[in-house]
Chains A and B, each alone.
Chain A
Amino acid sequence: MTSTTATAPAPVAKRAQDAAGRPARGVRRKWTEHGLVFVAPFFLVYAMFLVWPLISGLGMSLTSENITGSGGEFIGLDNYAEAVRDPDVWSSLWNTVWFTVLSTVPLVVVGLGLALLAHQLSVVQWLWRLSWFAPFLLPSGVVCLLFLNMILPSDFGLADQMLSAVGLTPEIGWLTDERYAMLSIVATTLWWTVGFNFLLYLAALQAIPVHLYEAAELDGAGAGKRLLHITLPLLARTTVLVVVLQVLASLKIFDQVYIMTGGGPDESTRPILQYVYQQGFTGYRIGYASAVSYIFFALILTVSLVQPLLSRRRAEEAAK
């Protein structure tokens, strides 16, 4: 959810003006001039699958609607009142936030590290790019089942096998032990999606003009100084973007948990979206589930609005 989709007002057609800039009256414009006709197909789909569900979901959250769409009554803000008092809402929201915190840092830092590495290694660069980006192309189900059945099982899984190869006999319940389950999901997500951030950083790196580095070198700046004073500052905008995108992506965690732990052990990895799913589809309470998702929606909206603000502030500072 970003400003471009959420908060931008509908495009207002500019009023025709005469040469002096005064609004012209009675001038018939061609029907294509609005541009509206060209965006109509997109807008129709957008309205059908985004705007309408948004509105109808908000309506549903004020009712006791069930999954069969029959027998719901208007109950005002009761669902919201219940959700605020519901400890499961808070615990699953916390799990979502915790996952976001745990996953965002390595996903950004590792993505940057890999990009710097690939940027330096001019040899077989395509190979680095391919191998680090390839996992991102796999569907979530494939990745999760791979980790669930081949890498993380205790004893015979690849992770435990590697640990025992170096003389440890771990037998760690990667997904069944509360201490490790969330970390295992973070690790899976890191392997799966770090390629995207890596690619963004790589593109930004390649856009940094070479003459800056040459000038710095002439002034006797070493590699460390060049990284610190040229590369990182010039990547700042990309970093803001990557962090915000990553936070949004991480907040929406569902697939990995649903497939790998089902929210367990003891609901310690259950994210808010899974709770919405459970309330709505297992508990049949679509009205309540809608209310919980709107609370979550408010959170996502807030995070989305941070990014343009940050970008604008940076732009203003740069302009001074």
Chain B
Amino acid sequence: MQPPLLSRRRALAGGAGVLAAAGALGSLTGCAAPATAAGPGQTLLRFWHLFGGGDGVTMQGMLDDFRTGHPDIALEASTLQWGAPYYTKLGMAGAGGRAPELAALHLARLAGFAPGRLLDPFDLDLLAEHGVREQDFPPDIWRRGQVGGKQYAVPLDTHPFVLYYQTEVCEKAGLMAGGRLKPISGADEFADALRAAKKATGQPGLVTETLGPDCITPWRLFSSFYAQTGGTVLSEDGKRLALDDAKALRVLEYLARLVEEGLMVRRVDYAGSIGVFNGGKTAFHLNGEWEITTFKTTGLPFSMTRIPALFGTAATQADCHAFVLPHQDDRGGAPNEAAHTLTAWMLQNSVAWAQGGHVPAYLPVLDDPAYLDLKPQSAYRAVIDDVALDEPAWFAGSASRMWIELGAVFSGVLTGSRSPREALNEARARLRTLLDTRNPLPGAAS
């Protein structure tokens, strides 16, 4: 009674079932970096990065400038999707022995990226020849690039969580003085500012991503304010849990109260939060500085400032983009030198990079008049001394398991599906699990 098609369908469906369940994890082959020949007398330099959107445009422009000035280097840049997929590809390329000469990496992910096995150290003498030395960087950030006494990452910038404010709404709410936001200090003052803004517009005074696929902002929120209390999530070596319940609860309860009082939008995803702030009726937006390009493009009257000190210090969550040398069995010679050349050139030309909102890590640029003229980008440059990077752990850093898991946990506090106490217990349990899990990509020094 059944046409033969059905039994074949069945077989196909069955086969697909096995494939989905098991085959997906079967033989994996790394993706090869495209091998194109450089012209005669040229050195091929492959550079992988994860800069899309506004950053992508900036990066392309900088790379084009580099090409113009370095005709002897055939630079081949690949833009890959930001986040977890990028690190998957980069790791597999390194393991497959087909790594590019140079790649971008988030500094806080270094510990989980097998320095010494998947990454090769920089040649500091070579960098010094190009005029890039240790003393040109904030010491903390420079040190984060070191593992076992070798420099595996050279920081390009720091990208902190900042406060965006809509100047017209803040003016109307009486929060401005002399064209700038009046200083806010303390949690109560910030809540008052939000109330004033709500009175002025009838809308919640603050919008930030509270939910969505792999939403990270709830983690950034918690991480920033918790750092202000002086607490740390992990011990300094990233090996033990150091969460302080009282401090963490203070932060989570405060955030829950803001939402309950209607001072902050309860349910909104990332794109939605940008849209709401762009709507021009919301006083404040908390996000990384990288959305500056978006709001500049739409012509919204806005400015940016450091996250106010609500719980003590003015610390804020951040990570850094850094350069790394993915492991090559035969690293050395002209391609390796070209990688160092590009790294140094990028640092020395990072004024262009700063347009996208990032604070350059290369200190000489911070005093460059061209940078100081960037408004509002240079207004929060002092943050570079107060950034709170994750403690070094294999599961920490941008788009890491810790961020994604805790992002989901703290999202529940904002949307009201979890009490602060429940969220804290859940966060604890998840951190414990991560700490108990062996680093799947052990490096030379871990």
Contacts and interface: CB of A to CB of B under 8 A. Distances in A.
A94 interface: no
Contact of B94 (A4, A68, A263): A68
B408 interface: yes
Given A5-B11, A203-B3, A245-B10, A266 B415 contact: yes
A1 B14 contact: yes
A293 B21 contact: yes
A248 B17 contact: yes
Nearest to A4: B11
Contact of A50 (B1, B18, B408): B18
B35 interface: no
Interface residues of A, number: 65
A56 B24 CA distance: 11
A204 B276 CA distance: 52
Interface stretch (A103-111, A112-120, A276-284): A276-284
Interface string B94-114: 111000000000000000101
Contacts of B112: 284
Interface in B279-329: none
B19 A68 contact: no
B440 A263 contact: no
A2 B24 contact: no
Nearest to A64: B438
A293 B20 CA distance: 9
Given A69-B95, A284-B440, A304 B17 contact: yes
Best-surrounded residue of B11, B20, B94, B418 (most CB of chain A within 10 A):
B20
B370 interface: no
Interface stretch (A25-33, A170-178, A210-218): A170-178
B241 to A, nearest CB: 18
A286 interface: yes
Given A176-B212, A245-B9, A245-B10, A283 B440 contact: yes
Contacts of A173: 267
B201 to A, nearest CB: 18
Interface residues of B, number: 62
Contacts of A192: none
Nearest to B30: A68
B401 to A, nearest CB: 5
Interface string A233-253: 000011001000100110110
A64 B438 CA distance: 9
Contacts of A67: 28, 88, 91-92, 95, 440-441
Nearest to A257: B213
A163 interface: no
A245 B112 CA distance: 41
Contacts of A261: 213
A58 B25 CA distance: 10
Contacts of A249: 13
Contacts of B88: 67, 281-282, 284
A99 to B, nearest CB: 14
Contacts of A283: 395, 401, 440
A47 B128 CA distance: 55
Nearest to A69: B95
A281 B21 contact: no
A254 B26 CA distance: 18
Nearest to B22: A57
Nearest to B5: A203
Contacts of A296: 21
Contacts of A157: none
B223 interface: no
B156 interface: no
Contacts of B415: 265-266
A100 interface: no
A286 B1 contact: no
Interface string A1-13: 1101110000000
Interface in A154-213: 173, 176-178, 200, 203-204, 207
Contacts of A245: 9-10, 13
A4 B95 CA distance: 38
B269 interface: yes
Contacts of B268: 176
Contact of B14 (A5, A70, A238): A5
Contacts of B20: 252, 254, 273
B7 A4 contact: yes
A237 B19 CA distance: 26
Interface string B251-268: 000000000000000011
A241 B9 CA distance: 11
Contacts of B25: 53, 57, 60, 276, 280, 286, 289-290, 293
Best-surrounded residue of B10, B15, B214, B269 (most CB of chain A within 10 A):
B10
Contacts of B212: 176, 262, 264-265
A69 B96 CA distance: 9
B124 interface: no
B238 interface: no
A251 B268 CA distance: 30
B32 interface: no
Given A282-B84, A282-B401, A176 B441 contact: no
Interface in B1-58: 1-3, 6-7, 9-11, 13-28, 30
B13 A294 contact: no
B217 interface: no
Contacts of B409: 266
Contacts of A176: 211-212, 267-269
A6 B27 contact: no
Contacts of A43: none
B147 interface: no
Contacts of B408: 264, 266-267
5 closest pairs, A vs B, by CB?
A262-B213, A53-B26, A68-B95, A2-B14, A66-B440
Given A4-B11, A284-B88, A300-B21, 8 more contacts: A1-B15, A2-B13, A54-B22, A56-B27, A248-B13, A278-B404, A293-B21, A294-B22
27 contacts: A4-B7, A6-B18, A54-B23, A57-B26, A66-B440, A67-B92, A67-B440, A68-B92, A68-B96, A68-B114, A69-B28, A71-B441, A71-B442, A86-B433, A177-B267, A237-B1, A248-B17, A266-B408, A276-B25, A278-B401, A282-B84, A282-B88, A282-B399, A286-B440, A293-B25, A300-B17, A304-B14
